[in-house]
């Protein structure tokens, strides 16, 4: 039940502004098609203004040199979010469709991330080195300038904060460009900084609008020093080409096709519920969703049967119901894409469960898909190779360790993986051979602001979170001092 329509504006240089285009974009609830609100459909004039003002704020305030101020500002943002968490979680569910319990989890992670980087703001350490009896080197870590943050719709709050917090902690100014499917939640998060005096005007800006126009201008404008992009690998590649002209620094967090490898000695009681959760979380619309299970032939049947039961137990429905485990996919376009993959899967291999749109009753007005499992999926097949971004799990079978590793590494992606075994040596050996930025052993989907995250191969460039995530948003400068003996 919607209480009020959210109408949002851009936030540029500390002021709420309507777009110069005079146009707006409508957000719909993917669970029932009801309008959630309107945001600005900005044009080039809006983003150019934000870039100019962000540059000005970076150059003419003490933000980049006053680490205590930055720390206090981020901590206050965390505290304001904590206060409004329930209201914002509801909006996140309405605009994205995700279950309310997942929305709360996402916002808790935002609060945790802001707090962590509030602390880190005071620890942007460089190094120093004696070079000779008359020479000394300071290796300084400096903020870069204006960071353009382009984020996706699947975890719209966390994926924006995950980049904004370290960029700000390091002393940069930011321009946020949220996905056009979820602008309202992103603007709501920025509303929380209003009144925090420690944020100088122009240090945090948000401009909503089409990626191809706004994102493109951010990527090519010489006054944006860094682009932090989280999204589809194809979009990431096109950004790289555009940024090349200005040799612009890029941080890219892209797609995945992450495997869970189960050896014969795995603790299946623990593994099976986690495998199902990791595949169907966010209706599979999660970059590191465990969308492939690579299982030893001796336990294959038991594992498939176990995950099938878990999948069929999931309560699919409107995210506002506290008992919902899985919501709809984000849009009709996404629904069609996922159902096409289901048809491909049905032709290529064996369907275990699901594979259809859910219809009837509350499902008729939303984009709901059954949790779906395909078995005996060959590595060269499309459903093993391509990121579906829907609730579709591919099971693959192996005979020995080498084959398991080869299957795990057999796609162009390398974001995350899980290894399940009681043999510690095997767990570490396999973890080191799997080409992925994160490998979980006997668990999955454990993320912390203090541990680095990012992709091998086509899953990305650079790292987010942790110390490396902070340093992504700094330049390294050697200051050399010559002195008399
Ligand atoms: P997307 O690439 O379509 O859009 C992402 C953002 O880019 C949006 O804000 C969009 O407006 C903008 N954009 C689109 N075209 C652009 C252009 N030409 N220039 C600049 N910006 C442009 O991705 P999506 O569908 O919103 O998100 C899903 C994808 O994101 C999946 O591939 C998923 O794996 C990936 N993802 C990765 C991570 C990670 O941490 N690696 C996290 C979440 C999602």
The predicted-structure confidence for 274-311, as pLDDT tens digits, reads as follows 999 999 999 999 999 999 999 999 999 999 999 999 99
Share of the chain above pLDDT 70, in %: 99
In this structure, the residue with its CA closest to atom 22 of ligand 1 is: 211
Integer angstrom CA distances of residue 116 from 107, 119, 157, 329: 14, 5, 16, 31
**Pick from 322, 227, 325, 317: which is nearest to 280 by CA?**
325
CATH architecture of 259-448: 3-Layer(aba) Sandwich (3.40)
Residues 6+ apart with CB under 8 A from 111: 78, 81, 82, 85
415 CA from centroid of ligand 1 (Å)? 15
pLDDT of residue 272: 98
Q: Is the pLDDT of residue 51 over 80?
A: yes
pLDDT of residue 4: 79
235 CA from centroid of ligand 1 (Å)? 7
| Active site residue ranges | 253, 287
The pTM assigned to this predicted structure is 0.97
175 CA from centroid of ligand 1 (Å)? 16
Q: Counting beta carbons within 10 angstroms of the beta carbon of residue 184, is it exposed (0 to 12), middle (13 to 18) or buried (19 or more)? A: buried
pLDDT digits (tens, 9 = 90+) for 161-213: 999 999 999 999 999 999 999 999 999 999 999 999 999 999 999 999 999 99
| Confidence tier at 3 by pLDDT (50, 70, 90) | low
Which class does domain 10-254+459-478 fall in? alpha beta
Please give the average per-residue pLDDT across 238-261, as a whole number: 97
Residues 6+ apart with CB under 8 A from 115: 74, 75, 78, 449
| Contact residues of ligand 1, CB 6 A cut-off | 150-155, 159, 177-180, 211-212, 215-216, 219, 230-232, 235, 238-239, 253-256, 287, 387, 389, 415, 455, 460
pLDDT digits (tens, 9 = 90+) for 216-242: 999 999 999 999 999 999 999 999 999
Please give the average per-residue pLDDT across 7-15, as a whole number: 98
- What separation, in Å, do the N-terminal and C-terminal C-alpha atoms of the chain show? 76
pLDDT digits (tens, 9 = 90+) for 469-484: 999 999 999 999 999 9
pLDDT digits (tens, 9 = 90+) for 56-105: 999 999 999 999 999 999 999 999 999 999 999 999 999 999 999 999 99
Q: Is the pLDDT of residue 2 over 50?
A: no
pLDDT digits (tens, 9 = 90+) for 429-462: 999 999 999 999 999 999 999 999 999 999 999 9
In this structure, the residue with its CA closest to atom 10 of ligand 1 is: 211
**What is the average pLDDT value for the chain, to the nearest integer?**
97
Query: How many whole angstroms separate alpha carbon 267 and alpha carbon 262?
Result: 9
pLDDT top residue among 215 and 2:
215
Query: How many whole angstroms separate alpha carbon 33 and alpha carbon 20?
Result: 28
For the chain, how big is the Rg over CA atoms in Å? 23
State which of 44, 235, 287 you would mutate to test the pocket of ligand 1, scoring each by most atoms of that ligand within 8 A of its C-beta.
235
Q: In the sheet that 35-40 helps form, which strands lie side by side, from edge to edge?
A: 6-7, 35-40, 24-28
Q: How many residues does the chain have?
A: 485
Domain coordinates in residue numbering, the chain = 10-254+459-478, 259-448
Query: How many whole angstroms separate alpha carbon 228 and alpha carbon 459?
Result: 14
Please give the average per-residue pLDDT across 246-275, as a whole number: 98
231 CA from centroid of ligand 1 (Å)? 2
Q: Is the pLDDT of residue 1 over 80?
A: no
Query: Which numbered atom of ligand 1 lies nearest the CA of 253?
Result: 41
pLDDT digits (tens, 9 = 90+) for 124-152: 999 999 999 999 999 999 999 999 999 99
pLDDT digits (tens, 9 = 90+) for 357-370: 999 999 999 999 99
């Amino acid at each position: 039940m919607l209480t009020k329509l959210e109408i949002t504006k851009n936030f540029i240089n500390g002021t709420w502004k309507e777009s110069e285009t005079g146009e707006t974009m409508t957000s719909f609830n993917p669970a029932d098609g009801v309008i959630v609100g309107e945001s600005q459909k900005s044009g080039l004039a809006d983003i150019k203004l934000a870039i100019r003002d962000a540059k000005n704020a970076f150059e003419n305030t003490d933000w980049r040199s006053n680490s205590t101020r930055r720390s206090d500002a981020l901590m206050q943002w965390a505290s304001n979010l904590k206060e409004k968490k329930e209201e914002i979680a509801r909006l996140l569910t309405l605009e994205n469709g995700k279950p309310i319990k997942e929305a709360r989890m996402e916002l808790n992670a935002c609060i945790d991330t802001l707090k962590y980087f509030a602390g880190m703001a005071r620890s942007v350490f460089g190094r120093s080195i004696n070079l000779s009896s008359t020479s000394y080197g300071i290796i300084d870590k400096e903020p870069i300038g204006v960071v353009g943050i382009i984020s996706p719709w699947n975890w719209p709050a966390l994926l924006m904060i995950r980049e904004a917090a370290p960029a700000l902690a390091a002393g940069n100014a930011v321009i946020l460009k949220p996905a056009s499917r979820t602008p309202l939640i992103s603007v709501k998060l920025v509303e929380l900084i209003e009144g925090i005096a420690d944020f100088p005007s122009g240090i945090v800006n948000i401009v909503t609008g089409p990626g191809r126009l706004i994102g493109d201008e951010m990527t090519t404008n010489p006054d944006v020093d860094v682009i932090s992009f989280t999204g589809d690998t194809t979009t990431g590649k096109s950004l790289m080409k555009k940024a090349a002209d200005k040799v612009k620094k890029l941080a890219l967090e892209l797609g995945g096709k992450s495997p869970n490898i189960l050896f014969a000695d795995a603790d299946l009681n623990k593994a099976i519920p986690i495998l199902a959760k990791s595949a169907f979380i966010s209706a599979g619309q999660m970059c590191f969703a465990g969308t492939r299970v690579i299982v030893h032939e001796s336990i294959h049947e038991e594992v498939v049967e176990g995950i099938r039961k878990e999948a069929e137990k999931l309560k699919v429905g409107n995210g506002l119901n506290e008992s919902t485990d899985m919501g709809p996919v984000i849009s009709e376009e996404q629904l069609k894409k996922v159902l096409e993959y289901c048809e491909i899967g049905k032709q290529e291999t064996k369907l275990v469960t699901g594979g259809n749109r859910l219809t009837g009753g509350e499902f008729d007005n939303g984009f709901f898909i059954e949790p779906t499992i395909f078995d005996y999926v060959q590595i060269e097949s499309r459903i093993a190779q391509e990121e579906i971004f829907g609730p579709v799990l591919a099971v693959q079978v192996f005979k020995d360790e080498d084959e398991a590793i080869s299957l795990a590494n057999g796609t162009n992606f390398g974001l995350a993986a899980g290894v399940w075994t009681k043999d510690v040596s095997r767990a570490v050996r396999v973890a080191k051979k799997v080409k992925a930025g994160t490998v979980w052993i006997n668990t999955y989907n454990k993320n912390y602001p203090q541990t680095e995250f990012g992709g091998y191969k086509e899953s990305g460039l650079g790292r987010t979170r942790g110390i490396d995530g902070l340093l992504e948003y700094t330049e390294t400068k050697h200051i050399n001092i010559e002195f008399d003996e």
